[in-house]
Structure 1
Amino acid sequence: MASGKRRDNYRMPIPLKTGDVLRGRYRIRRIIGQGGMGCIYLADDMRLEGRQTALKEVEHDRSLPTEMVKEAREQFLREATVLARLDHPNLPKVSDFFSVGSLDYLVMDYIPGKDLRMLMMEARQNGEFLDENLVLSWANQLADALTYLHSQTPPILHRDIKPSNLKQTPTGLIKLVDFGLVKVLAPGEITITILQGQGTALYTPLEQYGGDSGHTDIRSDIFAFGSTLYHLLTNTPPADARERFLHPESLIPMQQINPEISPRTEKAILWAMNLHPDDRPPTIKAFQESLLGDRVASITHPITKPRHPSDYLSTNPERTLLWLSVGFTVFSLLAALLR
């Protein structure tokens, strides 16, 4: 498989083949993603039988001065260490990171299931829109994950939120995947992202077009979050930030595309999509409350909510008898002790 070329004639690394083994532990199955500076592979963990991982490959641009490449690799190791400490149900667990020659690798849980872009495309092919309550349940989970990232010390930005980076597991849980553009906001420090890039134009705010010299903060993730919800609810990609800056009318009102969207939902999403960061919600929590209000607690995907024992009593007669039997036994024991 020939390697691709970037505009600066920098050659991407030659992709690994099925059966290749890294670090004596990870056996490559296939490529499951490909970006500007490397691939993402599905691999078997040979040390833990049955465990599958996603290996994100990063090669730093060797056309840069040696000191910059060295700094980029050091930054990768620092940020990979930070990611390995994260533990949240809506984020894949980073379990390992290492280098092989000029390549760096980040090892994460492999997340099965379809990404939200695929689910949106299926709805579009059927001439339908995704259900608003379903999308809001996804938004609620994503908000929890981003609040967790932004509350780290220092805060962590994802910087590449989009439908294809959100996967729904078979149990209905949403996972924010691909830490390719993660940026750790160390105060007063110029940082280099784990994987240089600008994100996907449709969901990228104006301030992020400057790369690491841009003044990105948590409101940059909020813009991408809002743009992602716009796309999911309308089956229509939003006009990108540069186009909107030049032609403000290019962003089509959501209800004009999908009349079923509630005014509250559209208003909250457009607030998040403001071009200037100061005009957006100041935090993910503020956006979450604007989007969901009192529904924040109730709209969580039902599979992720613990069920009360009474839920079983009304739907399973055998369990009803079991619960009554257990209750009667406990009551009898308490009565005997109190005599």
Structure 2
Amino acid sequence: MAWIAGDRLQGGEYTIERELGRGRFGITYLVKNKNGDRQVIKTLNDDLLKSLNQSERERLKTMFLREALKLQRCKHKYIVEVVDSFEEADCLCLVMEYVDGVSLADLRPPTLSESDALRYIQQIGEALIVVHENELIHRDVHPGNILLRNREGQLEAVLIDFGLALDFDHILTTSRTKETSDGFTPPELYAKGTITRAYSDIYSLAATLYKLLTGKTPVDAVKRKVDGEHLVSPKEWNPQISDRTNRAIITGMKLDPKQRPQSMREWLDSLGLIGETSKTETPVPPKPESKINWIAVTAIATLIAAIGTLFSGMAGLIPIFKPFASPSPPSLSPSPSSSKTP
């Protein structure tokens, strides 16, 4: 069911203000709760539900709910927060925080300095690490799904609009078209039945960095793979880009998923963005004092052995220096006084 401004949900808990956007799978609404706070509600697209049979509808709702519950566990300051979920008129709904900010797709001018771009990319990359740890893949990372929020005078990136239940396409016929973002969607997401992993979000985030640094949307993955179109190096568009960043973008956008970094942490490390979730451990050299202690122990042991040898030799020389025989030691057994020698 599509809602319009003024509609009230959950007995007046939420009031619809307006529709924010709609895709093939979902619709998002701006709402106010009973306290007057703005929030966002996301629900499944009613048109899609009507096109499915009962079994498919139940399957889609189950997948949406399962992934929504996973998303609720993804607590991170750079991920839009899911605060509630409910069912209204047979529609599953997610209630999320409202982020009032401009998206990276709407920047004017459209390009950023490398340092600013890398700061936002690191924030979203760290957020995606948490997403992947919760067995989710965003599937739709692009500049339009990254908002800039002002927190205490500092702009920070926030990841929104997860592609919940996009894997539902895998149970439909091949004639159905997947929801994709040209230039940012990896080739494996165009193929029916492909299992997506962290490397899929890496492709999309690398493409996002490409756009932020060049102002150009990279050539679509299908055109690269099927038509053989060349991916222009970002450094060709912007010579100011460092070689390291240029290489990381190209590697992150490899058509073959196996040739990309296999974890978001690995890709961020290749950019030099070592963060709080880094698993890379720097080998710790032995402490100097530990080495000295072992040397000291060895020296002491050697000294003790030498002293022992010295005493043994001296014991053999003692009789030579004695001029008189030693008196016999007294007996330890008590004797009666009559037996004493005068």
Higher mean C-alpha deviation, range 216-225 or range 64-73:
64-73
User: What is the aligned-residue RMSD (CA, Å)?
Assistant: 2.2
Pairwise mapping of residues 46-57 of structure 1 onto structure 2 (< 5 A)? 46=34, 49-57=35-43
| Per-residue Cα deviation, 1:138-178 (whole angstroms, up to 9, x for no partner) | 011011101111112xx110000000000110121211001
User: Which residue among 6, 10, 13 is the counterpart of 1:23?
Assistant: 10
* Deviations 1:78-124, CA, capped at 9 Å, x for gaps: 222222222111111111222223432211101111111111xx114
Residues in 2 aligned to 1:97 and 1:235: alpha-carbon distance in whole angstroms: 38
2:191 maps to 1:204: no
260, 264, 278: which one pairs with 1:284? 264
Matches within 5 A, 1:297-312: none
1:331 aligns with: none
The whole-number CA distance in structure 2 between the counterparts of 1:214 and 1:102 is 30
1:38-78 CA-partner distances (Å, limit 9, x unpaired): 421111111xx242111112134333232121111122222
What is the alpha-carbon distance in structure 2 between the residues aligned to residue 89 and residue 182 of structure 1?
A: 23
- AA in 2 matched with 1:178: D
2:207 is aligned, of 186, 209, 227, to 227
Is residue 121 of structure 2 the alignment partner of residue 133 of structure 1? no
TM-score (norm. length: structure 2): 0.72
Q: Name the stretch that deviates more: 172-181 or 227-236.
A: 172-181
In the alignment, which residue of structure 2 is the partner of 1:123?
109
Partner SS state of residue 42, structure 2: strand
Contact 1:58 1:103 in 2 (8 A): yes
1:249, 1:179 → 2: CA distance?
29
1:254-284 Cα shifts (integer Å, max 9, x gaps): 1111111111101001100000000000110
The correspondence of residues 112-191 of structure 1 with structure 2, limited to 5 A, is: 112-119=100-107, 122-124=108-110, 129-152=111-134, 155-171=135-151, 172-181=155-164
2-structure distance, mates of 1:100, 1:256: 52
Instruction: Please report how far the alpha carbon of residue 216 of structure 1 lies from its aligned counterpart in structure 2 after TM superposition.
Output: 1.3
Indicate conservation of the 8 Å contact 1:160/1:199, yes or no: yes
Q: Does 1:107 align with 2:95?
A: yes
Tell which deviates more after alignment, 162-171 or 64-73: 64-73
Unaligned runs of 5+ in 1: 1-12, 185-189, 298-339
2:290 aligned residue? none
Shift in Å, 1:34: 2.0
Q: How many residues align?
A: 264
Q: Report SS of the residue matched to 2:83.
A: strand
Structure 2 vs 1, CA of residues 264 and 182 (structure 1 numbering), >3 Å: closer, same or farther? farther
Partner Cα distance (2:4, 2:50) in 1: 23
Deviations 1:291-333 (A, max 9, x none): 1256x57xxxxxxxxxxxxxxxxxxxxxxxxxxxxxxxxxxxx
Cα shift readout 1:192-223 (whole Å, capped 9, x = no counterpart): 9xxx9433132111111125x11211111111
Q: Which residue of 1 aligns with 2:216?
A: 236
Partner residue, 1:322: none
Q: Which residue is 1:93 aligned to?
A: 81
- Structure 2 residue corresponding to 1:58, chosen from 44, 62, 73: 44
Q: Indicate the structure (1 or 2) with the bigger Cα radius of gyration.
A: 2
Deviation at 1:247, TM superposition (A): 4.1
Q: Would the aligned equivalents of 1:44 and 1:52 in 2 still touch at CA under 8 Å?
A: yes
- Kindly provide the amino acid, as one letter, of the partner of residue 31 in structure 1: E
What is the TM-score with the length of structure 1 in the denominator?
0.72
Name the SS for the 1:292 alignment partner. Answer: coil
Distance 2:78 2:166 in 1: 18
| Whole-Å separation in 2 of the counterparts to 1:293 and 1:107 | 32
Indicate whether 1:265 and 2:257 are aligned.
Answer: no
Which residue of structure 1 lines up, in the alignment, with residue 194 of structure 2?
214
* 1: CA distance, partners of 2:112 / 2:33: 36
Distance 1:276 1:198 in 2: 21
Q: How much identity, in percent, do the aligned residues show?
A: 33
Letter in 2 for 1:176: L
Name the CA distance, whole Å, in 2 between partners of 1:78 and 1:163: 26
C-alpha contact 1:157 1:182 (8 A) present in aligned 2: no
Counterpart contact for 1:203–1:228, Cα < 8 Å: yes
